[in-house]
């Protein structure tokens, strides 16, 4: 049983905000990115968990 590769970490470059999302779940990384970006004007990046 390996780790599920479909987990992505959305992290903010401008504050300590960070959220890990399941790519197969209801919440999409893009949704988290857009929501936080709209609320704060911050820049976020998405990376794979475990790399």
Q: Which residues here bind Zn ion, judged by CB under 5 A?
A: 12, 14-15, 17, 40, 42
d(CA 9, CA 50): 9
Q: Name which of 5 and 43 has its Cβ closer to Zn ion.
A: 43
Q: Whose Cβ is closer to Zn ion: residue 6's or residue 15's?
A: 15
Nearest residue (CB) to Zn ion, 4 versus 18 = 18
Report how far residue 22's alpha carbon sits from residue 29's, in angstroms, rounded to the nearest whole number.
8
- Cβ 38 to Zn ion shortest distance, Å: 11
What are residue 19's DSSP bridge partners? 10
């Amino acid at each position: 049983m390996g780790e599920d590769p479909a987990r992505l970490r959305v992290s903010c470059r401008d504050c300590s905000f960070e959220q890990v999302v399941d790519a197969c779940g209801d919440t999409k990384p893009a949704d988290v990115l857009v929501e936080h970006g709209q609320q704060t004007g911050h820049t976020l990046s998405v990376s794979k968990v475990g790399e």
